[in-house]
Every structure is written in structure tokens, then in C-alpha cells.
């Protein structure tokens, strides 16, 4: 009787020890599993994925002022500007004219019609890159039959130049698709001030997106668009209907955003024009206001900037975006 009882006792002790050991192993594993995430910090999100913190109730408008000779006018003060939303004057609560970091996209026409212009067009883009500040960022899109993202946002101007030098003209012109791609890329911009520079001989003959679709997208995007139009003379027999409509298309798209279209007849002027656009972007006034209409209805609201210049100045021209979409619920 004693032998079986001892064997039973040993079996019992062994079973209890196994249970205790299993429990101890379980207790040892649980904390390790719980602490693992704490020991491995979560990777930080890339800078450009972080949303820009903006006061959604503040409307900011970039304003360019020029004289009758198309020269920039600087030195104006807050009291020289009035701003209206749907014909109702708004109180200007923010005013500045500082050079701020810029997020810029260059949209480069590499279609076949650019064959005899592409060298000067490259020089114009390179001249624009030379104006970069350390905090600026750029991306590069070229287009022919379809747009291509040659380089996403970077501060490496030399690499941008290298990419541009290998661009070869061919194919048709998908200008509207290139603007669409560029506006989507601009969603990843890290700077609040954003602009596109379009270098093209105008006219679209191969885009999937329509002119109206792009114009609506441009209205929604808080991006200024500047265009350098490298057009053939109006009397040229080689101009297609699309090329004839090119100047109007570029002008409409640019002016909606507060930018401008610069037509160029002499290719040698391209680098100088690109330099002027860069200078303009660095010398704009920024006017901010809180709309008296507080409704979040998502509707398009027209805005108008009026200038009351000091006495003695010649007639001046004001360029600003034509409106914005209100926030929605």
C-alpha cells in the first residue's frame, strides 16, 4: 500500500509542479508581449504626411501688385488694401510681405512641338531653380503623350537639373493631365505657400481630363499657377486649333489662382521671364481675413482685392485669386 501511495504522491507533486511551471512560463511571456511595443518605438511619419496645421476660419490671399510697365510694386502697407467677399467688405486681420519657404512644382512640356524650343525651356527652368532658398522644395513633372513624375519633392536642385537635361521632346501634348498630376503631388507639400510653373507652347491634344475638370480642381487647390507660354506666331501655318487655344487656356487657369501667364515670342527671353516669376513669388503681399459669412456650406465664394495706393503713384494692377470654396460640415 505504501508504494502505490508514494507513486501517487509523486505523480501529484509532478502534476502540480508542471502546472506551476506552465503558469510561471505564461506569466513570463505576457509581460514580454505587452512590453515589446514600448521597447520598439513607432517609426515617425514622413514629414510630408503630416497635415499642415492651418486656421480653417482664416482665408489667406497672395496678392501681386505691378505698375503699367509690369514692374513689381513693393512697400505698400495694410491700409492700402481692401478685400471683399461676395461684394461684402471683410476686415483684414493678417498682413505680411515676407519671403517665406516655397513648395514649387515645375511642369515641363516635352511634346514633339517643343523640339526647337526645349533647350531654351530647360535654361528657363534652371534659372528658376537658381532662386531656391534652403527651406524651399521642388518637384518636376514632364509631359508628352502622358505626364511623368520625374522627381518628387526634393531640395536637391542639382538632381533636378540632371533629370531635366535628359528630357527629350516627342509625342503629343497631355497638358491638362500634367496639371492634374502636379496638383495631386502638391498635397504632400510641407510649406504653406505653394505654386506651379508651367512651361509649354500651349494647346492640349491628348489629355483624359477636360478643361472644365481641371479648372474646378484648380479652384479647390490652394496653389498659384504661373505659366510661360512659348507660342508660335499667330500667322504661322503650322498652328493647330489646340495651339491657337493654348494662350487662352493657360491664362484662364493661371489667373483663377492669382498667378499669371507670360507669353514669350523670343526664346532668348525665357530665362529672364523665369527669373521674374521667381522674384514675384518672393515679393507678394499676403492678406488674411475671417469671413463674416460663417456658414460651412462648401460653396464657391468670389473674392476681390481693391487697392487704395498712396497719392502720386501711377495706375497699378492687382493680381489675386478669384475665390475659394468654403469649408463644409
Indicate the pLDDT class of residue 213, thresholds 50, 70 and 90: very high
Average pLDDT for residues 101-123, to the nearest whole number?
Answer: 94
Percent of the chain with pLDDT over 90: 68
Average pLDDT for residues 115-137, to the nearest whole number?
Answer: 92
Q: How much is the pLDDT for 66?
A: 96
Indicate the pLDDT class of residue 297, thresholds 50, 70 and 90: very high
Is the pLDDT at 89 greater than 50? The verdict is: yes
CA pair distance 316, 71, nearest whole angstrom: 10
Is the pLDDT at 1 greater than 90? The verdict is: no
Q: How much is the pLDDT for 96?
A: 96
Of 88-102, 163-177, 236-250, the poorest mean pLDDT is in 236-250
- Supply φ then ψ for residue 44, to 5 degrees: -70, 145
Q: What is the pLDDT of residues 216-237, one digit of tens each?
A: 999 999 999 999 998 776 555 5
Is the pLDDT at 8 greater than 50? The verdict is: no
Of 44-58, 65-79, 120-134, 235-249, the poorest mean pLDDT is in 44-58
Is the pLDDT at 53 greater than 50? The verdict is: no
**Closest C-alpha among 225, 228, 224 to residue 263:** 228
CA pair distance 180, 300, nearest whole angstrom: 20
Q: What is the mean pLDDT of the chain?
A: 83
Query: How many angstroms separate the first and last alpha carbons of the chain?
Result: 84
Is the pLDDT at 207 greater than 80? The verdict is: yes
**CB contact set of 39 (below 8 Å; sequence gap of 6+):** none
Q: What is the pLDDT of residues 251-288, one digit of tens each?
A: 999 999 999 999 998 999 999 999 999 999 999 999 99
Beta-carbon count within 10 A of 107 CB: 24
CA distances to 120, 139, 190, 314 from 153, in Å: 24, 5, 9, 41
Residues 135/191, Cβ–Cβ less than 8 Å: yes
Residues 249/201, Cβ–Cβ less than 8 Å: no
Residues 68/79, Cβ–Cβ less than 8 Å: no
Amino acid at each position: 500500500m505504501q508504494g502505490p501511495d508514494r507513486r501517487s504522491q509523486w505523480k501529484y507533486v509532478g502534476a502540480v509542479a508542471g502546472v506551476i511551471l506552465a503558469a510561471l512560463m505564461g506569466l513570463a511571456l505576457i509581460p514580454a508581449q505587452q512590453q515589446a511595443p514600448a521597447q520598439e518605438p513607432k517609426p515617425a511619419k514622413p514629414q510630408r504626411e503630416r497635415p499642415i496645421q492651418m486656421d480653417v476660419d482664416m482665408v489667406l490671399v497672395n496678392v501681386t501688385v505691378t505698375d503699367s510697365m509690369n514692374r513689381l510694386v513693393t512697400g505698400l502697407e495694410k491700409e492700402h488694401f481692401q478685400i471683399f467677399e461676395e461684394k461684402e467688405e471683410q476686415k483684414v486681420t493678417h498682413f505680411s510681405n515676407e519671403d517665406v519657404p516655397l513648395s514649387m512644382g515645375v511642369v515641363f512640356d516635352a511634346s514633339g512641338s517643343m523640339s526647337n524650343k526645349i533647350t531654351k525651356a530647360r535654361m528657363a527652368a534652371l534659372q528658376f531653380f537658381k532662386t531656391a532658398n534652403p527651406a524651399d522644395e521642388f518637384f518636376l513633372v514632364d509631359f508628352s503623350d502622358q505626364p511623368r513624375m520625374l522627381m518628387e519633392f526634393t531640395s536637391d536642385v542639382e538632381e533636378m537639373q540632371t533629370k531635366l537635361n535628359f528630357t527629350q521632346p516627342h509625342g503629343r501634348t497631355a497638358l491638362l493631365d500634367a496639371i492634374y498630376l502636379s496638383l495631386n503631388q502638391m498635397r504632400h507639400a510641407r510649406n504653406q505657400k505653394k505654386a506651379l510653373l508651367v512651361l509649354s507652347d500651349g494647346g492640349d491634344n491628348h489629355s483624359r481630363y477636360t478643361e472644365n475638370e481641371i479648372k474646378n480642381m484648380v479652384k479647390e487647390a490652394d496653389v498659384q499657377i504661373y505659366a510661360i507660354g512659348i507660342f508660335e506666331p499667330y500667322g504661322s501655318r503650322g498652328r493647330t486649333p489646340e495651339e491657337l487655344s493654348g494662350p487662352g487656356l493657360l491664362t484662364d487657369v493661371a489667373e483663377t489662382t492669382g498667378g499669371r501667364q507670360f507669353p514669350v515670342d523670343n526664346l532668348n527671353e525665357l530665362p529672364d521671364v523665369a527669373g521674374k516669376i521667381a522674384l514675384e513669388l518672393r515679393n507678394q503681399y499676403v492678406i488674411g481675413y475671417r469671413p463674416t459669412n460663417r456658414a460651412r456650406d462648401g460653396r464657391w465664394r468670389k473674392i476681390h482685392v481693391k487697392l487704395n495706393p498712396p497719392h502720386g503713384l501711377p495706375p497699378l494692377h492687382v493680381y489675386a485669386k478669384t475665390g475659394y470654396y468654403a469649408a463644409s460640415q
